[in-house]
Structure 1
Amino acid sequence: MALQIGDRIPDFSAIDNNGDLFDSNEVVGKKPAVIYFYPKDDTRICTEQACSFRDQYEDFKALGAEVIGVSGDSLKSHIAFANKYNLPFILLSDGDKKIRKAFGVPNDYLGLIPGRATYVADKKGFIQLIFDSTSGKIHIDKALEILKTM
């Protein structure tokens, strides 16, 4: 079942782009979190989205929020993607799709491509915004907009 506004972000862990085990409890429930799911590293729309988060990362940090990107790509792919575009935020490898399933992120395009969705949680870990759109750049504006109201 898909998460809804008002639900608490579930506990999850995964390997991040530094090769470390990321535990959601280190962020969720301690500060606002922007968790965004995207289909694939180094594709046009995903790269635009990641670079938009990068370009406005300081705005997220100024609002006390952490940005976390999640896709099914491998650690090797995430490292290359983060290095190529100087991404300052966490990328998590979700090859087994456990995190995607825990959030209930649907697939796009007749169920063939992993969906693109952004979840914004307040500092207590409760979801304040769910934004699902195939357009990558809009996610950043929507996330910043809701963070400014929290």
Structure 2
Amino acid sequence: MADGQMYVFHTRSVEETQALAEKIGRLTEPGDVFTLSGDLGAGKTSFTQGLARGMGVNGVVNSPTFTIIKEYMGRLPLFHMDVYRVEDELEDLGFDEYFYGDGVTVVEWPQMIAEQLPAERCEIVITRGEGDERTLKFTAHGRRYETLCEAIKHDHSGN
């Protein structure tokens, strides 16, 4: 895959990470796909909780570790996937209906299904710093995600 435009954000707390994700959640559109990579405890679920809040999802959002996919209803449907336990990368679990449907999809551990991911998506890698500090590297694959990241960059720099 051709390299996309990269954007880097720094947060100093779980709340800041969630606030950044909440801003993105407010701008989501049907068919948006976000992949989340990072070590255990990096903040993938915290990010998804903020995204869900921005999309108007009420209720508890937690990691779908044992179910693969959890669905939440907000302004748009939110499909939260944890594909760490998918045994066969090419097994057809019907991901296309999520990736190309009317909801927003978040995929944790995307490398497990790399061949099935849509070419246009926003890849997010979260790395831990000191304490609760995080670095979030967004790679925008496609004009839609470049526009989204630019909007967040301008909004985030005002913090």
Larger Rg: 2
Tell me the TM-score normalized by structure 2.
0.32
